[in-house]
Structure 1
Amino acid sequence: MLNKKQLDNPDGGFETEGPLICRASRRQLIMTIHTDIAGDFADFVSRARFEDIPEDAVEAAKKSILDTLGVVLAASGVEPAVRGLTKVAMESGGGTAESTILGFGGRAPAMMAAFANGAMAHCLDFDDHAPEGHHPSSSIVPAAFALAERVGGIPGREMITAVAAGQDLFLRLRRNVGWKQDWHLTTVLGVFSATASAGRILSLSKQQLANAFGIASMQSCGTMELAYGVGSDLRGMYAGFSSKGAVLAALLAERDISGIKTVFEGKAGIFNIYFDGRYDKEKMLVGLGNDYAGGSILYKPWPSCGASHPYIHATIELMKDHGLASEDLEQIRVHVGDFQNRLCLPLESRRKPATLADAKFSIPFCVAVAATRRQVSIADFTGERLTDPRVLATAQKVVPVLDERFDWKMKLPEGRVDILTRDGRAFCRTADDVPGGSDTPMTWDYIFDKFSDCASFSVAPPSREAIERVREMCRHLESLDDVTDVMRVLAGDAL
């Protein structure tokens, strides 16, 4: 967006005085006279109909629901930090026991259940993501299900509509703002997409939804130091804050609490403050209500940061193709762009991560696991595996090489791995056809298997019968009369 003073200097810094101009291109400037885009988003969410959602977006919503529920269950048994958070959520509940806390069992008010389940949804960094990076569903699904349990009687078609609308909104925002790898986009933007889904579950009016977006801005926050720093448990649990904020915003809006009317486009709105006024409103609105972007969402084959996946894939393939063992290796060079390099520094800390969260966001450690075991699984990020001497020895051989070809400009970049052996051989591979990528998407069979595996790591694993039933319920969610049944089965309350 440009203002009037920028017409003669479109490359200048953003000023917030004067009427805003929507830029289709530098040569074509179109005045906008309608209200903040929050009103357009609210109108879209309130009018959305299951019948109008494209098949690929319906399938993505259902896959994301099952996928997210699975990784929540796995986190309950793998990530020690969630025990303290879940205990706080239960102790802080106070009110009506409305919604299920997965894995640990028990019920809490919807807002606190969303907090606990949302925190677990990203703990393993195994949740879905946009092709451009960042995670829509770890905030959306916990918020939507917490309120669905509070309300009761929400049919599967309505849950799909709520999730698909939230996913579409997330992608429209993510793809059309100018990002400098400073603010943490998933938490800055994710609270609004989760609020869209939460508001839809509550059947909020257009005006109430617009208010909810304004209220949700109070939880729109977070910087990329979550990824760049080491030693913090928050890197894995951030989605809980977005889920909780979304539920709170929707509930307050339901009580007709008014929100900020110009939350996105105002002088100090989200777009101007977080993104220096660099956003494309026209693209955000093109096809809104008809073209749902959720069909492009990707599902992870490995429980680690998506930026590590090209290196994991290239390493596994090189080790297999050339019959190598980790003991054969002299050095593993990972060609990294700007963002990936930050996941290699400080190098010694990344080679020997101190926490589960640090391990998942360490390219040297993930590559070492891939080279040592020729696979990467949930079990590789459990406590005892973090100190495996073979993996740690291999990690010492991983050396980052800056390569601007792999800078993160829009879609998650590829990467290159060079392996040098102790007997003088050299092998290299540029990652392509990475499993779970846009060209190699995951099928329902994979999502089923992933869910079953994740559920087995739960602090209280569901029975085989419950796992199979939930898989089928989510696969055919549109035929379900009440999505609460999914949570009841996972909690062991019904079979």
Structure 2
Amino acid sequence: MTHSTSVSDHPAELSGVLAEFAAEAAYEKLPQPAVDGAKKSLLDTLGVILAASGTEPAARAAVDVVRDAGGQPQATVLGHGFRTSAVMAAFANGAMAHCLNFDDQTPWGQHSATSIIPAALAVVERQGGISGKDLIAAVAVGQDLFTRLRRHVGWRQDWNLSSVIGVLAATATAGRLLNLPPDRLAHAFSFGAIQSGGFMDMVSGPGSELGGMYAGFSAKGGVLAALLAQRGAKGTDTLFEGKNGFFATYFGGSYDREKILDNLGGEYYGAATLYKPWAAVGTAHSHIHATLEAMARHGLNSDDIQELRVYAGDCHEGLCAPLDARRAPATLMDARFSLPFLVAMAAVHGDLKAGDLTQAALKDDRVLKLARKVVTVSDPALDWKDELPSGRVEIVTRDGRRVEQSGEDTPGSATRPLAWTDINAKFADCAALAAVPPSPEQIVATQRAAADLESADDAAHLIRSLTDTPNGH
């Protein structure tokens, strides 16, 4: 990985190059897969926010704080039926977008949509008259920038990239929707970067609600950064590559400028976005799939299991320790980050649906009994290098059999991605869990609005289809 500490080595500082790309991106220049990726992420994220509004206690504090703060009614807090300022709506919706861990991810890990989509929707509602094509282009820009940075910085699994980089992606999206010129958008990146942060323990540390709420801060930060730049606030000219800049501070100066910029504006990485079938941390999905496959192939039920061994690389170990706490998580947030509990729950119920993880589920004796039989086996072959590795399980049955299964071709993975029909079904399931559930007619209208977004003169139609009654009132 190359590394730069001097702007003079390059014709332009990276912040200026990326700002020009974001400001000038147009729908007409997007490859069709990038268009589809943006639209899918919009619908998927809307659904996940709605589900969180009615099922996850960790999101309630964020929504309550925003409700109490009031503010100009510029944008909608989804699932709760009230409006507030664009900045605070982005915060509340962002907090809900990730707290179920049901949001999309890149094939290389981390989550962009939870920062990008709440920021985009807040700006779209605040401004009014932004076309569906412009919303698609802005989301595609944010997705692409997020992935380019995520893949080509010297990450040591220390910083939480979803929030450190997510706020910059949200800034690019919000800035594009505000029609900021390149120089203003470059300044906006500085105000986004000053809000970057997030340590890895906040993602999976037991007993914490930080891992669910962090996207609220990066979504809010993106809107705030873009609005500050729109008002003329000035940032630094050496944001990314300066001696004391972003790359030096977060990654010890380790980044690959050439790869970050490779085919910029030609290839949009949002096209590779992956969507989850299960409301749990993405690094657990292949183990969940392996468990379900092993049981189906060998006709097993949970009572047949004497021991369930999960093979863990470095990215899985945090989901397994401390083992006793992971076997019996105290909160829903912890449950979604607990590999022993998740595989046990999947084994007992034969699936892991959005509405399955409830307070009652945490006390399910059958699941807790099986979770106590889950043991972890360290396997460096499953360490995280680039793309997320596939997990592996071994089941020892009560009659002495040993059944092994790898988690390749996991639903929602790059080799088995969810299609539009899957995302539509997921959206309908999620919407039904909302604190204020939309009607069946509103659900269908929102699905259609997302699919046909490029034809909308005002992209806020996507939100109105979800919140308006059928007669428009």
Provide the TM-score with structure 2 as the length reference. 0.98
Alignment of 1:70-469 (within 5 A): 70-94=47-71, 96-469=72-445
Whether the 8 Å contact between 1:119 and 1:241 is mirrored in structure 2 is: yes
Whether the 8 Å contact between 1:125 and 1:360 is mirrored in structure 2 is: yes
Match of 2:15 in 1: 38
Query: What CA distance in whole angstroms lies between the structure 2 residues aligned with 1:267 and 1:355?
Result: 43
Per-residue CA deviation, residues 304-343 of structure 1 (Å, 9 max, x unaligned), is 0110001000000111111111111100000000120111
Per-residue CA deviation, residues 262-295 of structure 1 (Å, 9 max, x unaligned), is 1111111111111111100011111111211111
Match of 2:461 in 1: 485
Query: What CA distance in whole angstroms lies between the structure 2 residues aligned with 1:357 and 1:261?
Result: 40
Whether the 8 Å contact between 2:51 and 2:433 is mirrored in structure 1 is: yes
Query: What CA distance in whole angstroms lies between the structure 1 residues aligned with 2:288 and 2:108?
Result: 18
Distance 1:153 1:405, change over 3 A: same
Whether the 8 Å contact between 2:382 and 2:391 is mirrored in structure 1 is: yes
Query: What CA distance in whole angstroms lies between the structure 1 residues aligned with 2:331 and 2:245?
Result: 36
* Percentage of identical aligned residues: 51
Whether the 8 Å contact between 1:462 and 1:492 is mirrored in structure 2 is: no
Residue type of the partner of 1:74? A
Query: What CA distance in whole angstroms lies between the structure 1 residues aligned with 2:3 and 2:146?
Result: 25
Whether the 8 Å contact between 2:58 and 2:99 is mirrored in structure 1 is: no
Query: What CA distance in whole angstroms lies between the structure 1 residues aligned with 2:437 and 2:246?
Result: 41
Distance 1:430 1:260, change over 3 A: same
Measured after TM superposition, the shift of residue 380 of structure 1 is 2.1
Query: What CA distance in whole angstroms lies between the structure 2 residues aligned with 1:69 and 1:395?
Result: 32
Residue type of the partner of 2:184? Q
Provide the TM-score with structure 1 as the length reference. 0.93
Measured after TM superposition, the shift of residue 39 of structure 1 is 0.3
Whether the 8 Å contact between 2:3 and 2:254 is mirrored in structure 1 is: no
Query: What CA distance in whole angstroms lies between the structure 2 residues aligned with 1:430 and 1:46?
Result: 44
Whether the 8 Å contact between 2:204 and 2:334 is mirrored in structure 1 is: no
Whether the 8 Å contact between 2:44 and 2:423 is mirrored in structure 1 is: yes
Match of 1:12 in 2: none
What is the aligned-residue RMSD (CA, Å)?
1.3
Measured after TM superposition, the shift of residue 33 of structure 1 is 2.7
Range that drifts further, 304-313 or 321-330 = 321-330
Per-residue CA deviation, residues 448-484 of structure 1 (Å, 9 max, x unaligned), is 0000000010011100000001001101110111111
> 1:334 is paired with a residue of what secondary structure?
strand
Whether the 8 Å contact between 1:419 and 1:428 is mirrored in structure 2 is: yes
Query: What CA distance in whole angstroms lies between the structure 1 residues aligned with 2:236 and 2:134?
Result: 27
Match of 2:34 in 1: 57
Query: What CA distance in whole angstroms lies between the structure 2 residues aligned with 1:407 and 1:487?
Result: 41
Unpaired segments of 5 or more residues in structure 2? none
Whether the 8 Å contact between 1:227 and 1:343 is mirrored in structure 2 is: no
Query: What CA distance in whole angstroms lies between the structure 1 residues aligned with 2:207 and 2:277?
Result: 25
Query: What CA distance in whole angstroms lies between the structure 1 residues aligned with 2:248 and 2:298?
Result: 52
Residue type of the partner of 1:161? A
Measured after TM superposition, the shift of residue 430 of structure 1 is 1.2
Whether the 8 Å contact between 1:380 and 1:386 is mirrored in structure 2 is: no
Measured after TM superposition, the shift of residue 489 of structure 1 is 2.4
Query: What CA distance in whole angstroms lies between the structure 2 residues aligned with 1:414 and 1:99?
Result: 40
Measured after TM superposition, the shift of residue 34 of structure 1 is 2.1
Measured after TM superposition, the shift of residue 3 of structure 1 is 7.1
Measured after TM superposition, the shift of residue 259 of structure 1 is 1.2
Query: What CA distance in whole angstroms lies between the structure 2 residues aligned with 1:3 and 1:207?
Result: 24
> 1:379 is paired with a residue of what secondary structure?
coil
Measured after TM superposition, the shift of residue 493 of structure 1 is 5.0
Measured after TM superposition, the shift of residue 2 of structure 1 is 6.0
Whether the 8 Å contact between 1:350 and 1:362 is mirrored in structure 2 is: yes
